[in-house]
Structure 1
Amino acid sequence: MLKKIASIISTILHPLLMPTIGILVIFSTESHITFIPFEFRRLVTIIVFVSTCILPLSAIPIFLQTGIIKSIHMETPRERILPLLTTGFFFILGYYFLKKFQLPAFIPLFFLGTLVAVIISMCISFFWKISIHMIGVGGLFGALISMTLKYGVDTNIWIMVTIAISGLLGSSRLGANAHSPAQVYSGFFLGCGTICSIVMI
């Protein structure tokens, strides 16, 4: 029963959904750094969703059919390398399209940070199985912290919500025996640190 609940939580908070969730949370702050017309917000959200979720997911059946991955869970670190490389390519594509618009600097920087986190996690996957779920939620936490520290945006409520979600997601990954505590914590801090480093420069 607990494993089933953990699986549901991991699916809802899947790392491929986190950039889209992140951009929606960022827009919800209604701050000066995200002040763009609704039509642009919708377009940005669509670009993020397609490039970070739809396109990477569309490649999974090919990886399964060719035997590159044994299951959608990609239980071994090596299975993750090519999917992460492909995901990184689609992220680059999304970043390219975002740069075509005159957006507040924070938005493309947030997206660039997620791209860097994907590349780092791919490199780590050559020798270790870091939690990509926690990288995703850690990245969102890092974005909120950066908005507060660099731009003075009040994100306290979202920060508290993200901390609660991070604890829930981390517990679910441990409950599903998908990761060790070290892999969970390192994933969170990698995501948070990467976004903060990119945005705070």
Structure 2
Amino acid sequence: MRRLSKILSYLFHPMLMPSLGTFFILNVVPHHSLLPFSIKRIVYIVVFASTCLLPLSLLPLFLQTKVIKSFEMETSRERIAPALSSAIFFFLGYFLLFRLNISSLIESFLLASFFAVILSSVISIYWKISLHALAIGGVTGLILALIFRYGIDLLLLLSIMVLISGIVATARLYLKAHTPLQVFIGYLVGLGVVLLSLLYVF
């Protein structure tokens, strides 16, 4: 069970969730699903590089300089520097997509994710919030925003994401990485920031 929980934590790692959200946008939103694959490929590369590859590439440096004690970052304070550096890369990804002018929706999703990361950094100064729950909550918030904003029938996808969210939350609790409250608040923050940003801000 412990090995399965770790596998789930890696499969649904916070750094992979923006790419998953982008995949949903490019495949379920009508005028986005019709984009040529060459355009979609550019979007995938920009999003994956700026929200996963570049942030993860700094972790060995943080470990070497003792900013973090391990890649698990067990204390809330250890997460502040990696989260802030990730926010910079998130904004870079947003800026590149803004310049390419391919999709204002994906730009908004990345910008909402950026603000969620910034908020998690602030919270981490005082308290250990679940980044896994925050990230997957953000994807759930995206799906809800697509339902309300475009009237797309995504209830099945929403149900699957809620189920996956519960499974990932259970895995994090089983690994004793977080308390139930840290997981619950993380999920609410991610869902709320992305949903409200896409519906009312951007």
Q: Which residue of 2 aligns with 1:11?
A: 10
Aligned pairs (5 A) from 1:161-200: 161-200=160-199
**How has the CA–CA distance of structure 1 residues 32 and 104 changed in structure 2, closer, same or farther, with 3 Å as cutoff?**
same
CA contact (8 A) 1:22 1:140 kept: yes
1:61 lines up with 2:60 in the alignment: yes
Q: Which amino acid aligns with 2:95?
A: Y
Q: Which amino acid aligns with 2:139?
A: L
Q: Which amino acid aligns with 1:56?
A: P
Please report how far the alpha carbon of residue 22 of structure 1 lies from its aligned counterpart in structure 2 after TM superposition: 1.2
1:50 lines up with 2:75 in the alignment: no
Please report how far the alpha carbon of residue 30 of structure 1 lies from its aligned counterpart in structure 2 after TM superposition: 4.5
* Distance in 2 (alpha carbons) for counterparts of 1:20 and 1:96: 16
Q: Which has the higher helix share?
A: 2
Q: Which amino acid aligns with 1:21?
A: L
Q: Which residue of 1 aligns with 2:37?
A: 38
Q: Which residue of 1 aligns with 2:92?
A: 93
Q: Which runs of 4+ in 1 moved over 6 A?
A: none
* Distance in 2 (alpha carbons) for counterparts of 1:194 and 1:34: 25
* Distance in 2 (alpha carbons) for counterparts of 1:182 and 1:196: 21
CA contact (8 A) 1:36 1:103 kept: no
CA contact (8 A) 1:95 1:108 kept: yes
Please report how far the alpha carbon of residue 35 of structure 1 lies from its aligned counterpart in structure 2 after TM superposition: 4.3
Q: Which residue of 1 aligns with 2:76?
A: 77
Unaligned runs of 5+ in 1: none
TM-score w.r.t. length of structure 2: 0.95
Q: What is the count of residue pairs matched by the alignment?
A: 200
Secondary structure of the residue aligned to 2:176 is coil
* Distance in 2 (alpha carbons) for counterparts of 1:80 and 1:187: 14
CA contact (8 A) 1:132 1:187 kept: yes
CA contact (8 A) 1:113 1:199 kept: yes
CA contact (8 A) 1:141 1:192 kept: yes
Please report how far the alpha carbon of residue 104 of structure 1 lies from its aligned counterpart in structure 2 after TM superposition: 3.2
TM-score w.r.t. length of structure 1: 0.96
Please report how far the alpha carbon of residue 59 of structure 1 lies from its aligned counterpart in structure 2 after TM superposition: 0.2
Q: Which amino acid aligns with 1:92?
A: F
Identity of aligned residues (%): 40
* Distance in 1 (alpha carbons) for counterparts of 2:29 and 2:9: 28
Worse overlay, 141-150 or 2-11: 2-11
Q: Which amino acid aligns with 1:189?
A: L
CA contact (8 A) 1:95 1:111 kept: yes
* Distance in 2 (alpha carbons) for counterparts of 1:184 and 1:177: 11
* Distance in 2 (alpha carbons) for counterparts of 1:79 and 1:180: 17
Map Cα deviations across residues 100-136 of structure 1 (whole Å, 9 max, x no partner).
1223321111111110100000000001000000111
Map Cα deviations across residues 62-103 of structure 1 (whole Å, 9 max, x no partner).
001011100000000000010111101111111110101223
Q: Which residue of 2 aligns with 1:150?
A: 149
